[in-house]
Amino acid sequence: MSDVKVRFAPSPTGFMHIGNTRTAVFNWLLARKLGGKFLLRIDDTDVLRSKKEYEDAIRDILGWLGLKWDEEARQSARVARYDEVVAKLKAEGRIYACYETAEELEVMRKRLMAQGKPPIYDRGALKLTAEDVARYQQEGRRPHYRFKLIAGKIEWDDMVRGKTCYDAANLADPVIIREDGSYLYHLPSVIDDFDFGITHIIRGEDHVTNTAAQVQMFEALGGKVPVFAHLPLLTGKEGKLSKRLGSLGVRELRAEGIEAMAICSFLAKLGTSEAIEPFYDLEALAATLDLAKLGRAQPKFDEEELKIFNRHFVRHMPYDKLKDRVRGGAEFWAAVRGNLDSVAEADKWYDICFAPLEPLIEDAALTMAAAEELPPEPWNEETYALWMNAVKAKTGKKGKELFHPIRKALTALENGPELKNLLPLIGFERAQKRLRGQRA
């Protein structure tokens, strides 16, 4: 293994949706492509909203997708470490206390915007005297804390966006600790990435401004700044950001029969210059990863397109990728897969082929004649065509009038896989009985 390490850091405040699943997929693929490690970090510092059921569900979905992690960490177990770093940065003047209320900050923001200025915090807290602080404390105000940005350019080479540059003068010092003493996302994430040796960070482009501030946090810790890649956010098919994408659950997609590797294949190529095609192995998919092929435009995610892709994925799935999930063996799978929308549907066709079935007789004279003309086994790939020619010659029926009643007698359904493929599975004895209207 190389020294490359990436992380996926979900907050257990909800179930996995398609957006954060995409982030997890890209991080895992990059780790495998570069021969590195994948860290699962549970960002559970939001005590009120974090729930074990959500964490369990996250782990379950990652496992189902095949995104196995090499290491794991939990933020709630590291608060003492965050406190240690904060004490050091306070002493160095990089973290400072602020006493403005939320209402006062909102008034300040609106005033700046009315003047046509960016709503950047004015660092008024740095001008407070000891008497000011004492007065605020006597009023019962509790401070929140900000990280002080150093003036100058903040630059990094983004694996997706290319050269990215911010002027710290245009950024507000980020709040890192709330009034109740709880930590916001920014600094704990950097401390974790620093401590666990994270070398590459892939996340959504909505974090770009956070990254600008966090670059200086890494530098304040004396650590090497990781390589960043900011993925364009998904949009809905209507062309604008869709609230549904924020809640489209992978659990629901799984329940609908969408395959794990279909999801990974689809998300890994969506928004790239490459065609979206089925991959049946994560390692093979990882070998094709090239972040340079990601476009800058926000890709459109359409749930119906995923379902259509999943149908294609299932119908071309090699038997060895699902032999533990499908009854009937390779011959059966080859016979039925071309008509399936999901792997689970194979069970229905297994029962049709091998379990007792009540036939639907539409034309008794025709199906009786078909039973009489059914050749004895063994059968080969020519048997069905020869049989149909014989029945056609005997009855004068052709086209739908010939094939439709025979299909309903053999399968009790109007549509399905080609009968030439199903017939050898149903076998002579069952076929004879069904054609004669008997349960078999």
Whichever domain contains 153, its CATH number is 3.90.800.10
Can you give the residue range of the structural domain that contains 52?
5-69+188-231
Residues 308 and 346 both lie in one domain? no
Enter the pTM of the model: 0.92
Q: Quote the number of domains for the chain.
A: 4
Exposure letters 115-124 (e unless 16+ CB within 10 A, then b): eeeeeebeee
Contact 350, 344 (CB under 8 A): no
Whichever domain contains 33, its CATH number is 3.40.50.620
Residues 335 and 411 both lie in one domain? yes
Contact residues for 284 (Cβ-Cβ < 8 A; gap 6+) = none
Residue 266 lies inside a defined structural domain of this protein: yes
Whichever domain contains 405, its CATH number is 1.10.10.350
Q: What are the tens digits of pLDDT across the range 221-242?
A: 999 999 999 999 998 876 655 5
Residues 84 and 154 both lie in one domain? yes
Residue 182 lies inside a defined structural domain of this protein: no
Contact 276, 308 (CB under 8 A): no
Residue type, 328: G
Residue 237 lies inside a defined structural domain of this protein: no
Residue 159 lies inside a defined structural domain of this protein: yes
At 1 the pLDDT is: 47
Phi, psi of 48 (to 5 degrees): -70, -35
Contact 193, 202 (CB under 8 A): no
Residues 32 and 120 both lie in one domain? no
Residues 146 and 128 both lie in one domain? yes
At 242 the pLDDT is: 56
Residues 263 and 216 both lie in one domain? no
Residues 64 and 195 both lie in one domain? yes
At 370 the pLDDT is: 97
Residue 114 lies inside a defined structural domain of this protein: yes
At 380 the pLDDT is: 87
Residues 224 and 263 both lie in one domain? no
Residue 225 lies inside a defined structural domain of this protein: yes
Spans of the chain below 70 pLDDT = 1-2, 238-247
Residues 61 and 197 both lie in one domain? yes
Residue 426 lies inside a defined structural domain of this protein: yes
Residues 261 and 128 both lie in one domain? no
**CA distances in angstroms from 71 to 51, 54, 295, listed in the order given:** 21, 19, 31
Whichever domain contains 280, its CATH number is 1.10.1160.10
Residues 334 and 430 both lie in one domain? yes
At 57 the pLDDT is: 95
Q: What is the DSSP letter of 120?
A: -
Angle between helices 400-411 and 383-395 (to 10 degrees): 120
Rounded (10°) CA dihedral 147, 151, 152, 156: 0
Q: What is the DSSP letter of 298?
A: P
